[in-house]
């Protein structure tokens, strides 16, 4: 491998790193590839060249110094666009357990976690936490029962995501029951 492409190797290391990568980590990786000892000064010089390259207005990325290392980030002009993608992706990824928990909360709100678990028959800590993180549910207050457990309800984000103005617009359970789930023969 040629040292002429040293900046490209550094660029590849920074690009492929999930979090910021330090000068020392870059040196360790390059030493392993080139079987050569690189100085901090040389690597810092190459990183500055890369930063200048990415300062160009034609690039959507910038090379930023973070947490004693370097990382590629989207320039501020594009944050809203990237944020929309992240919102879209975060809304798509609900597990079956989270969907069940969300349905129980939507139809029985306000409801405590204990009541959710009694309906589902399993612990719902993780599902409730994920729904809170995704802001699909919120805390309503505390129940007037012993221990004063937290009450959960659907949030404005839930309403927006499902295109509802109010909870009364949720489909009625009788409208979504399937004959295949019925037991026995229908009574006329």
Full pLDDT tens readout for the chain, 188 residues: 556 689 999 999 999 988 889 999 999 999 988 888 999 999 999 999 999 999 988 889 999 888 788 999 899 899 889 888 877 776 667 889 999 999 999 999 999 999 999 999 999 999 999 999 888 999 999 999 999 999 999 998 888 777 777 888 888 866 665 555 555 555 55
At 92 the pLDDT is: 62
Chain Cα centroid distance, residue 144? 34
**Dihedral angle at the C-alpha atoms of 71, 74, 79, 83, nearest 10 degrees?**
-70
How does 10-34 read in b/e, with b if 16+ C-beta sit within 10 Å? Answer: bbebbeebeebbebeebbebbeeee
At 159 the pLDDT is: 85
Q: Token pair for residue 134? A: 């995704």
User: Who contacts 130 (Cβ-Cβ below 8 Å, separation ≥6)?
Assistant: 94, 95, 98
Q: Find where tokens 């492929």 sit.
A: 16
User: Who contacts 150 (Cβ-Cβ below 8 Å, separation ≥6)?
Assistant: 112, 113, 139, 140, 141, 142, 143
At 90 the pLDDT is: 65
User: Residues 11, 12, 16, CA angle at the centre, nearest 5°?
Assistant: 120
Distance CA 51, CA 63 (A): 5
Q: Which helix (H) or strand (E) holds 137?
A: strand 137-142
At 169 the pLDDT is: 86
Q: Which domains does the chain have, with CATH numbers?
A: 3-78 (1.10.10.10), 94-176 (1.10.10.10)
Q: Token pair for residue 127? A: 């599902």
SS3 66: strand
35 φψ region: left (φ > 0), alpha (ψ -120 to 50), beta (else): left
At 160 the pLDDT is: 74
User: Who contacts 55 (Cβ-Cβ below 8 Å, separation ≥6)?
Assistant: 62
Q: What is the DSSP letter of 109?
A: -
Q: Which of 35, 37, 30, 24 is nearest to 8 (CA)?
A: 30
């Amino acid at each position: 491998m040629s040292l002429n492409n040293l900046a490209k190797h550094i660029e590849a290391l920074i690009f492929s790193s999930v979090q910021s990568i330090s000068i020392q980590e870059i040196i360790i990786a390059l030493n392993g590839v080139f079987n050569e000892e690189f100085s901090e000064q040389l690597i810092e010089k190459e990183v500055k060249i890369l930063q200048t390259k990415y300062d160009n207005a034609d690039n959507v990325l910038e090379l930023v110094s973070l947490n004693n290392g370097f990382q590629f980030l989207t320039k501020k002009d594009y944050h809203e666009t990237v944020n929309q993608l992240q919102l879209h992706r975060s809304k798509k990824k609900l597990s079956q357990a989270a969907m069940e928990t969300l349905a129980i909360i939507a139809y029985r709100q306000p409801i405590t976690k204990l009541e959710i678990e009694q309906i589902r028959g399993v612990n719902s800590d993780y599902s409730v936490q994920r729904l809170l993180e995704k802001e699909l549910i919120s805390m309503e207050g505390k129940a007037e029962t012993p221990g004063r457990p937290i009450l959960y309800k659907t949030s404005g984000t839930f309403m927006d995501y499902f295109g509802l103005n109010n909870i009364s617009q949720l489909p009625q359970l009788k409208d979504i029951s399937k004959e295949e789930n019925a037991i026995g023969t229908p009574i006329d």
